[in-house]
Structure 1
């Protein structure tokens, strides 16, 4: 009978805060950060092991029922002791920790010295390369809403579209501006107009920069040619960026940006996608975008909006009900594929 290989079994928990930053531990025995977790005891199931380790290291009582990733580390992986036989590591979804949750964290007297919140794109600066790959793969699996992704040394065996695009490899820009559902006050200039654009299945369009992996909603800066109409800005920008045609925009509200030299509003609209043609290079930015469809909640996980996201998402779903598409089913993000050519707005 062939001999069976012996492997270690490890567990970790992926927690994020309300802004989507990953919770990492500083530990006294490593120069790099780690996810909460560690080795499973002999005969201990992975779900019980991660529950135990999170309680020991963070003082939190949690139950874990969903694995985001299962990774195989090869023998001899750097950073492990001599004779390391390889390891199977389960990454469990710890969900979002509120500020109250974070305030309840109690660190042990040794080993874990502090915790930190890390922007996903900066994980490779804080973790060793294998741990960073594994964590990003698990985070993408969480956004996709799929079952556990199977990894070998942090590399997915069946990469999703998010893996192919290397989503979250570039730091997100914080957009923590207050959300207002009413009209823009007189005297507050509208600087930009962005759109939640619905496909027939209720999912919305997100643009991914092919050079950066950064996500954005379609839309852009109000220009003189728009004659002061943010809705016209949206139509123009959606065509220029994504080669998409939309129906009549429905105003949702605005974000009050108080970080620029002069306060301004960034308007949000909803609209139905009516037609599209293959994407082309956006002359204004030099970017060629990959167009993906996501539920509104999945899309929000690609941005750094903080607690203000909830009110905006509520407005988006109200608009969806008014526009007619169904509540979207959670599924992996998919690409909006080309079909027949269409004419640009205003063409004969």
Structure 2
């Protein structure tokens, strides 16, 4: 046969089939799979195993003449006792031979590892898990920020990259040693690597009772295409909605608080604010108001006078936004109220799409008002 696949050889070099086979075999890599599974609050399923001191995602080696997707589904049955369709690939990772610290006796040649989306498992599906008698000693659903302490460094990088790829909804991403070749804004800011602030408070429709002290007012600010403005802290990647704490100059008006904080944090202005409801702390003494409004303009980014930070401003669907927060089961109720307000504002429901870093060169009023 004629091939130019041999480094340093000129075009037209002739090789026998046997020689070509030997050459390709010498460059062979292992092939493996992982399955990223989360629960309804965004925690990731990890497995404790009896053969290493770090945890793993579900998955394993691809057998001879087996496809990666089939291997991933097989491993779910063998490791968790659960039958599931595995047909969405989040990431493909090239793992260098010298990147894992594998012992020399293992003769690790490097690996191509496919990370599949196992989806969001509800309590019924989680209840179906049956562990094998050996290898898997336990499972837990861990906060994304805990993955670096539970998994090996490469495994943790890969899992977080795959989780961001799932949120970003941009299709399968290519990784090298767990890091994306083309980093998104979520990767660049290491979103989810720092613990999400926890506000697992009950959701209440309507205004806060008079005896409740309002300590925050945040807003879901809608662009014309149905996405919302989310702020990412530059040093931690922590996500927040525009808004903040009332100050004396607001004169007890939460909308005035919203306008001031949205301008200070994001140079954002809005109209037609609608009160969605509020959440309360466990003691029932403090309230956090939630509004929805239509964005009218966003100016150049500048430091927030309260923190000195210049937030990175992104547009995301409301569903993507909630994946960046740790609001617990009540997040679903708030999300329903958000979409009800969106309809009242006459805005479309945004289809799932990549998170977009807001560029002030594109006026907010020129964003396409399209959705599902």
TM-score, length of structure 2 as denominator length: 0.88
C-alpha separation between the residues in 1 aligned to 2:265 and 2:182? 30
C-alpha separation between the residues in 2 aligned to 1:93 and 1:156? 17
1:314 corresponds to 2:332 = no
SS at match of 2:225: coil
Question: What root-mean-square deviation, in Å, do the aligned CA atoms of Structure 1 and Structure 2 show?
Answer: 1.5
C-alpha separation between the residues in 2 aligned to 1:76 and 1:274? 52
1:147-194 deviations in whole A, cap 9, x for unaligned?
111111111111112111211121011111011112212211211100
Query: Out of 225, 231, 256, which is 1:207 matched to?
Result: 231
SS at match of 2:350: coil
Matches within 5 A, 1:203-282: 203-258=227-282, 263-282=285-304
Check whether the contact 1:180–1:254 (CA below 8 A) recurs between aligned residues.
yes
Change (3 A) 1:340 1:93: closer
C-alpha separation between the residues in 1 aligned to 2:118 and 2:58? 10
Task: Report the CA distance between 1:248 and its aligned residue.
Answer: 2.7
Task: Report the CA distance between 1:270 and its aligned residue.
Answer: 0.5
SS at match of 1:167: coil
Task: Report the CA distance between 1:339 and its aligned residue.
Answer: 3.9
Task: Report the CA distance between 1:79 and its aligned residue.
Answer: 4.2
1:111 corresponds to 2:156 = no
SS at match of 2:275: strand
C-alpha separation between the residues in 1 aligned to 2:296 and 2:206? 27
1:160 corresponds to 2:184 = yes
Change (3 A) 1:193 1:27: same
TM-score, length of structure 1 as denominator length: 0.94
Larger radius of gyration: 2
C-alpha separation between the residues in 2 aligned to 1:80 and 1:263? 54
C-alpha separation between the residues in 2 aligned to 1:205 and 1:312? 16
Task: Report the CA distance between 1:230 and its aligned residue.
Answer: 1.1
| Number of residue equivalences | 339
Matches within 5 A, 1:20-99: 20-82=42-104, 83-99=107-123
C-alpha separation between the residues in 1 aligned to 2:110 and 2:358? 40
Query: Out of 179, 204, 207, which is 2:203 matched to?
Result: 179
Structure 1 stretch displaced more, 309-318 or 79-88 = 79-88
Check whether the contact 1:123–1:132 (CA below 8 A) recurs between aligned residues.
yes
Query: Out of 34, 42, 45, which is 1:12 matched to?
Result: 34
C-alpha separation between the residues in 2 aligned to 1:282 and 1:307? 31
Structure 2: 5+ residue stretches without partners: 1-14, 364-372
Structure 1: 5+ residue stretches without partners: 342-348
Aligned to 2:327: 305
C-alpha separation between the residues in 2 aligned to 1:80 and 1:61? 31
C-alpha separation between the residues in 1 aligned to 2:267 and 2:98? 49
Structure 1 stretch displaced more, 66-75 or 2-11 = 2-11
Check whether the contact 1:276–1:339 (CA below 8 A) recurs between aligned residues.
no
Task: Report the CA distance between 1:81 and its aligned residue.
Answer: 4.3
SS at match of 1:166: coil
Check whether the contact 1:69–1:92 (CA below 8 A) recurs between aligned residues.
yes
C-alpha separation between the residues in 2 aligned to 1:173 and 1:340? 31
Change (3 A) 1:22 1:30: same
Check whether the contact 1:277–1:340 (CA below 8 A) recurs between aligned residues.
no
SS at match of 2:306: coil
1:145 corresponds to 2:169 = yes
C-alpha separation between the residues in 1 aligned to 2:207 and 2:257? 17
C-alpha separation between the residues in 2 aligned to 1:263 and 1:114? 39
SS at match of 1:271: strand
C-alpha separation between the residues in 2 aligned to 1:311 and 1:149? 32
SS at match of 1:249: strand
